[in-house]
Amino acid sequence: MQTFGAFLVSFLAASGMAAALPTEGQKTASIEVAYNKNYVAHGPTALFKAKRKYGAPISDNLKAAVAAKHSLTKRQTGSANTNPSDSADDEYITSVSIGTPAQVLPLDFDTGSSDLWVFSSETPKSSASGHTLYSPSKSSTAKKLSGSTWSIEYGDKSSSSGDVYTDVVTIGGFSVKTQAVESATKVSTQFVQDTVISGLVGLGFDVGNQVSPRPQKTWFSNAANSLAEPLFTADLRHQETGSYNFGFIDTSLAKGTIGYTPADGSEGYWGFTATGYSVGGAKLNRNSITGIADTGTTLLLLPDNIVDAYYNNVESAQYDDSQEGVVFDCSEDLPSFSFGVGGQTITISGDLLNLTPIEEGSSTCFGGLQSSADIGINIFGDVALKAALVVFDLGNERLGWAQK
Ligand SMILES: Cc1noc(C)c1CN(C)Cc1cc2n(n1)CCN(c1cc(N)ncn1)C2
């Protein structure tokens, strides 16, 4: 039968704590207490525990502070497939559920803008033909945001405008209960004709939202605090299904290491600086390129000097006025284009830089790399994003890039 002292020593030894063995008949014992250096104190939690221990009243604010800190609700994630809209990967389509019962619409996720807008029962019938529509009147959770309107124009001069509802919006299984859903009462021709999408989900920064008089938050901004991590990833692919993941990073989607670089959200976009570039696998130079990571733009749009440096390696390349871009023989093997970011090198294969024949069956192809000169901003659009797994990390205001 073990004495208490012997038991105590063996217990402490088993739990890795040192102990002084009491001499026979001694009435005291002393033990070192390990300090948990990983424990991060939280005032409200300490107060909560003390009040609970002595039966003191606990305010709702204190309960909320403790719940927020210990995220008593399970931190959540979302994952949605996204598919190229056509053979040129012009844009990517993701299914989004809006309202109760759910109305599922094919939308274009756009990190270059900050409005969630949809074709709706309020869109003129002549414009709405062929599109899937959101009908707020058929949703028991829709509420009109009275007095609010919106109007947006994109880089390609396409535009839309209308009024605003709030409703539940679910993407990849994650729901935002009160999301501003901007209903289109007017849409430009580019959208009318593009019947494969019924609107956009802006994944830019809230500062870019175009609702007046009170700008609204993006779906991701509303979701961020409830997600396991305040980030999402874009995995766009050439002629195959890709994904938008929210709240987690599936590193198996990439071959390379994720390199991070600061993101500048001040203009509403995901701005960043690439540290250099190269053509055809050469060593990266140190010519930095400041631009935006933009899932809503098809092309890679860079300064003329870079575009020229690239197409000087393409025998048949020439500027085509009617196409308003550089074209070349479809049969030509294109060199790759690489850029440095976050200490990593992202290489866009030559295949990804051949976007599509200029017309069905033509042997002349349109380049995925074009000039940004008349835009005033460099855009790493889908042509660049397809080469990488891209992490849009709102919590740390940074962008991560990993070679795919
Ligand atoms: C077809 C086709 N080809 O390329 C596109 C795009 C389409 C679809 N299309 C004609 C209709 C259309 C026009 C726009 N979109 N869709 C998406 C949002 N737009 C952006 C987003 C942004 N971040 N930056 C610039 N514009 C303009």
List pLDDT tens digits, range 209-225: 999 999 999 999 999 99
pLDDT(292) > 60: yes
The confidence score (pLDDT) of residue 24 equals 66
Give residue 204 CA to ligand 1 midpoint distance, Å: 15
**Would you give the DSSP letter of residue 210?**
-
Mean pLDDT of the residues in the chain: 92
The confidence score (pLDDT) of residue 230 equals 98
Q: How confident is the model at residue 3 (pLDDT cuts 50, 70, 90)?
A: low
Give residue 65 CA to ligand 1 midpoint distance, Å: 43
Q: How confident is the model at residue 45 (pLDDT cuts 50, 70, 90)?
A: confident
pLDDT tens across 298-311, in order? 999 999 999 999 99
Strand partners, 224: none
Cβ of 191 closer than 6 Å to ligand 1, yes or no, is yes
- With a CB cutoff of 8 Å and minimum separation 6, the contacts of 189 are 158
Percent of the chain with pLDDT over 70: 88
Q: How confident is the model at residue 17 (pLDDT cuts 50, 70, 90)?
A: very low
pTM metric for this prediction: 0.84
| Probe target for ligand 1 pocket from 109, 127, 154, 382, with the most ligand atoms within 8 Å of CB | 154
Cβ of 84 closer than 6 Å to ligand 1, yes or no, is no
Q: Averaged over 194-207, what is the pLDDT?
A: 98
The confidence score (pLDDT) of residue 8 equals 46
Residue 335's closest CA among 323, 316, 349, 317?
349
pLDDT(20) > 60: no
pLDDT(272) > 50: yes
The confidence score (pLDDT) of residue 163 equals 98
Give residue 108 CA to ligand 1 midpoint distance, Å: 9
Q: Averaged over 77-86, what is the pLDDT?
A: 98
Q: Angle at Cα 278 formed by Cα 276 and Cα 280, nearest 5°?
A: 165
Residues of 345-363 as b/e, b for ≥16 C-beta within 10 angstroms?
bbbbebebbbbbbbeeeee
Measured distance CA(211)–CA(37) in Å, rounded: 48
pLDDT(347) > 70: yes
Measured distance CA(106)–CA(98) in Å, rounded: 11
Least confident of 17-26, 289-298, 316-325: 17-26
Cβ of 154 closer than 6 Å to ligand 1, yes or no, is yes
Q: Choose, from 89, 194, 294, 382, the residue flagged as catalytic.
A: 294
The confidence score (pLDDT) of residue 19 equals 45
Measured distance CA(271)–CA(241) in Å, rounded: 26
Q: Averaged over 337-344, what is the pLDDT?
A: 98
> Is 294 assigned a catalytic role?
yes
Atom 21 in ligand 1: residue holding the nearest Cα? 296
> Is 86 assigned a catalytic role?
no
Residues of 39-49 as b/e, b for ≥16 C-beta within 10 angstroms?
eeeeebeebbe
Measured distance CA(349)–CA(344) in Å, rounded: 16
